[in-house]
Amino acid sequence: MPLVAAGGLLTAARERRGAVAAFNVITLEHVEAVLEGAERAGVPVILQISENAVRYRRADPLPLARAATAAAEAAAVPAALHLDHVRDPELLRRAAEAGCSSVMVDASHLPYRDNLAACAAAARWARANGLWTEAELGVVGGKDGEPPPDPHHPEARTDPEAARAFTAASGVDALAVAIGSRHAMTTPVAALDHALLARLAERVPVPLVLHGSSGVPAAELAAAVRGGITKVNIGTALNVALTTGVRAALVGDTEVVDPRRWLADGRSAMAATAARLAALVHRPPPG
Ligand code: G3H
Ligand code: ZN
């Protein structure tokens, strides 16, 4: 089916008190695995391409975005395309051309005023072009090349009153919040601050987004969705599955040369991970 808008998926998820899994895709195998996983779970999904992934793909978002669009159009579940962690304003403005219906402005490392100015400008442009904007307030941290922050440091957390004011002043459609998760964790051991999430959900009128969800245990993720998280960003868990699957295939057959043989194992492992997490956040079990 044709690509759907990420905003519509998040609005619907909120109404049914569930969430949408947003998976970071780097290769075509990621795209295929995420769609296969979502089909297996029978739930909608968001495919997201980060600025880092764009850089890896010869600094052009179009080839992967076009492949993702074509694959999504052939899928049996609704899928949306999102441009993730964008710092380059030029890239931001290519989101629509790439088929993305939402963009995340990565400016929370800047002082509050500069983050606000960048997000307000992006939101104005995005709205005029029919796109949603996601901002981040607080420090999730742990992105490529960043020193690992302490996610439990109070200054890293999103302040509920600041989040309310920021959302109203910037006009963004969704807000990523720092409640104890961190990017690029390869094992799910993060503890979330559910009391803080409850205060954020009470004050912030737009859907809340959890970044660094690979590091969050399943029970914590389900509780976060029940507590008001509407978009669950997952990247590293797919990469762990891919690499583990490929490594096992290569170790198991040292003569193999056809990449389809070992890539397929990595892709199957990613599809299983995507199916499990997409189903979990779509309809979290009662706590
Ligand atoms: O925006 C992307 C996510 O926050 C992914 O984080 O790789 O730690 O799951 P993760
Ligand atoms: Zn993120």
ipTM value, please give it: 0.99
Q: What confidence score (pLDDT) does residue 156 get?
A: 86
| Distance from the alpha carbon of residue 81 to the mean position of ligand 1, in angstroms | 16
Q: Which residues are catalytic?
A: 84
Residue where the block lists tokens 């409850």:
198
Is residue 44 classed as helix, strand or coil in its secondary structure? coil
Per DSSP (E only), the strands in 32-184 are: 45-50, 79-86, 102-105, 132-137, 174-177
1 is a domain residue: no
CATH number at residue 22: 3.20.20.70
The number of the ligand 1 atom at minimal distance from the alpha carbon of 182 is 8
Instruction: Report pLDDT digits (tens) over 154-179.
Output: 668 999 999 999 999 999 999 999 99
Q: What confidence score (pLDDT) does residue 285 get?
A: 95
Q: What confidence score (pLDDT) does residue 155 get?
A: 62
287 is a domain residue: no
227 is a domain residue: yes
* Average pLDDT taken over every residue of the chain: 96
Q: Which ligand is nearest to the CA of 235?
A: 1
The number of the ligand 1 atom at minimal distance from the alpha carbon of 24 is 2
Report the pLDDT averaged over residues 100-125: 97
Asked whether the predicted pLDDT for residue 148 surpasses 90, the reply is no
Q: What confidence score (pLDDT) does residue 226 get?
A: 98
Higher pLDDT, 163 or 139: 163
The number of the ligand 1 atom at minimal distance from the alpha carbon of 84 is 1
Q: Which long-range contacts (CB under 8 A, 24 or more apart) does 262-269 make?
A: 263/29, 266/29, 266/241, 266/242, 267/29, 267/32, 267/33, 267/36, 267/242, 268/33, 269/241, 269/242, 269/244, 269/245
In the chain, the number of structural domains is 1
Q: What is the pTM of this model?
A: 0.97
Residue ranges around ligand 1 (CB below 6 Å): 24, 84-85, 183-185, 211-215, 233-237
97 is a domain residue: yes
Q: What confidence score (pLDDT) does residue 149 get?
A: 59
Asked whether the predicted pLDDT for residue 222 surpasses 90, the reply is yes
* Percent of the chain surpassing pLDDT 90: 93
Higher pLDDT, 152 or 5: 5
| Distance from the alpha carbon of residue 185 to the mean position of ligand 1, in angstroms | 9
13 is a domain residue: yes
69 is a domain residue: yes
Per DSSP (E only), the strands in 138-277 are: 174-177, 208-210, 229-234
Q: Which ligand is nearest to the CA of 83?
A: 1
Say which residues have a Cβ less than 8 Å from residue 46's Cβ, sequence separation at least 6. Answer: 6, 9, 20, 21, 22, 23, 79, 80, 81, 82, 231
| Distance from the alpha carbon of residue 239 to the mean position of ligand 1, in angstroms | 11
Asked whether the predicted pLDDT for residue 151 surpasses 60, the reply is no
| Distance from the alpha carbon of residue 254 to the mean position of ligand 1, in angstroms | 32
Parent domain of 126: 6-282
Assign 106 a pLDDT band (cuts: 50, 70, 90). Answer: very high
47 is a domain residue: yes
22: closest CA among 49, 51, 62, 52? 49
Nearest residue by C-alpha to atom 4 in ligand 1: 211
In degrees and rounded to multiples of 5, residue 264 shows phi and psi of -60, -35
